[in-house]
Structure 1
Amino acid sequence: MSSLSSAELPARPHRLPHLSSPWLGFAVRRLIGLAAVFVSLLVVSFLIVQLIPGDPAAGIAGANADSADIARVRVELGLDRPLGQRFLDYAGNVLSGHLGTSFMYRQPVETIVFNRLPFTATIALAGIVIVLLVSIPLGMTVGVLTQGGRRGWLDTVFGVITGFLDAIPGYIMASFLVVMFAVGIGVVPLYPPAYTPRFGAQSFILPVASIVIGPICTVARVVRRETAVVLDQDYTRTARGWRLPALKRYVKWTLPNILTTTLTLSGLILTGMIGGAIVIESVFALPGLGSGIIKAILDRDYPVIQGMVIVIGMIAALVHLLVDVLLGLIDRRTLGGSHVSA
Structure 2
Amino acid sequence: MSVMQHWHREPAPARDAVAVSGDPEDVTSARRRPGAVWGRFLLRRTVRTVFSLFVIVSVAFVVVRLSAGDPVRQALGPTAPPSLVETRRAQLGLDLPLWRQYTDYLSGLLHGDLGTSIITGQPVIDVVSSRLPKSLLLAALAVAVALLVAVPFGLATAVLTRDGRRRGLELGFNGATGLATAVPEFLLGAALVITLGIWWPVLPVAGADTAASYVLPVIALAAPSAALIARVARVEGLKVLGRDYMRAARAKRLPTATLHLRHALPNMLTAVLTLAGTTAAGMVAATALVEQVFNWPGLGYALIQAISGRDYNIVGGIALVYAALIIVINLCVDVLLALLDRRTTLLER
TM-score, normalised via structure 2 length: 0.85
Task: Say which of 60, 70, 87 aligns to 2:85.
Answer: 70
Q: What aligned pairs does 1:1-342 form with structure 2 within 5 A after superposition?
A: 18=33, 22-190=37-205, 199-336=209-346
Deviation at 1:304, TM superposition (A): 0.4
CA contact (8 A) 2:206 2:294 kept: no
Q: Which residue of structure 2 aligns with residue 6 of structure 1?
A: none
Deviation at 1:16, TM superposition (A): 11
Which shifted more, 213-222 or 259-268?
A: 259-268
Give, in whole Å, the separation in 1 of the partners of 2:201 and 2:340: 43
Q: Which amino acid aligns with 2:140?
A: L
Which shifted more, 261-270 or 29-38?
A: 261-270
Give, in whole Å, the separation in 2 of the partners of 1:25 and 1:236: 37
Structure 1, residues 293-323: CA drift from partner, whole Å, max 9, x if none? 1221222211101001000111111111222
Q: Which residue of structure 2 aligns with residue 7 of structure 1?
A: none
Q: Which amino acid aligns with 2:197?
A: A
CA contact (8 A) 1:23 1:337 kept: no
Deviation at 1:94, TM superposition (A): 0.8
Give, in whole Å, the separation in 1 of the partners of 2:140 and 2:314: 23
Q: Which amino acid aligns with 2:276?
A: S
CA contact (8 A) 1:74 1:80 kept: yes
How many residue pairs align between the two structures? Answer: 322
Structure 1, residues 123-167: CA drift from partner, whole Å, max 9, x if none? 211111111121111100110111111222221221122122222
Query: Which residues of structure 1 form unaligned runs of 5+?
Result: 1-13, 193-197
Identity %: 36
Give, in whole Å, the separation in 2 of the partners of 1:135 and 1:256: 15
Deviation at 1:199, TM superposition (A): 2.0
Give, in whole Å, the separation in 1 of the partners of 2:62 and 2:107: 16
Change (3 A) 1:338 1:224: closer
CA contact (8 A) 2:30 2:37 kept: no
Q: Which amino acid aligns with 1:23?
A: W
Give, in whole Å, the separation in 1 of the partners of 2:31 and 2:293: 56
CA contact (8 A) 1:61 1:73 kept: no
Larger Rg: 1
CA contact (8 A) 1:175 1:283 kept: yes
Q: Which amino acid aligns with 2:98?
A: L
CA contact (8 A) 2:206 2:295 kept: no
CA contact (8 A) 2:174 2:231 kept: yes
CA contact (8 A) 1:21 1:337 kept: no
Change (3 A) 1:53 1:191: closer
Deviation at 1:18, TM superposition (A): 4.7
Structure with the larger helix share: 2
Which shifted more, 120-129 or 161-170?
A: 161-170
Change (3 A) 1:38 1:207: same
